[in-house]
Amino acid sequence: MNDSIKRGFSFGLTSGVITTLGMIIGLNASTGSLLAIIGGIVIIALADALSDSFGMHMSEEFSNGEHQKKVWEATFATFFFKLLFALSFVIPFLLFELNTAIVVCIIYGLLLIGIFSYYIAGLHNLNKGKVILEHLGIALIVIILTHLVGTMIRNFFV
């Protein structure tokens, strides 16, 4: 896998997991609606994958403007992996009841971040425990904050 595709995979996985998980937690706290959550996942998967791939395209053009093939590889890899990882969060909602699906999504998302963090740490000879804890800590902050915001929205508007 070349560097452009690795960048797209890395960004797509991380952004796909964190954005989608945050949206799921926030929508559940604010609405508790299965339809809202599944609709939100599908919509954010497409819109955010397009947005992030365009952002990656611009970033790659800025740093690798003379290498158009690498720019487009990173663009398409970001779109594909972001869409794939975000949409994968629909599966628990098709298999389990709402509260169980939320727990499964949290475990699944943290597992993906943890495994990828382990890989990154090994790749760069970094302290694996430190890198994993740092990345999982960021993910947990997103989960907590989006839950709090969703709860505030529900309390304010209901």
- Determine contact, residues 17/139, Cβ cutoff 8 Å: yes
Q: Which parts of the chain register pLDDT below 70?
A: 64-66
Residue 158 lies in a domain: no
Question: In degrees rounded to 5, what are phi and psi of residue 124?
Answer: -110, 15
pTM higher than 0.85, yes or no? yes
The rounded distance, in Å, linking the Cα atoms of 155 and 99 is: 20
As for how many domains the chain has, the answer is 1
Q: Is residue 124 part of a domain?
A: yes
- 84 inside domain: yes
pLDDT tens digits, residue range 52-90?
999 888 888 887 666 788 888 889 999 999 999 999 999
The answer to whether position 126 is within a domain reads: yes
Contacts of 70 (CB under 8 A, 6+ apart): 2, 3, 4, 60, 64
Domain that holds residue 105: 3-153
| Cα–Cα dist 89/66, whole Å | 37
Whether 136 is covered by a domain: the verdict is yes
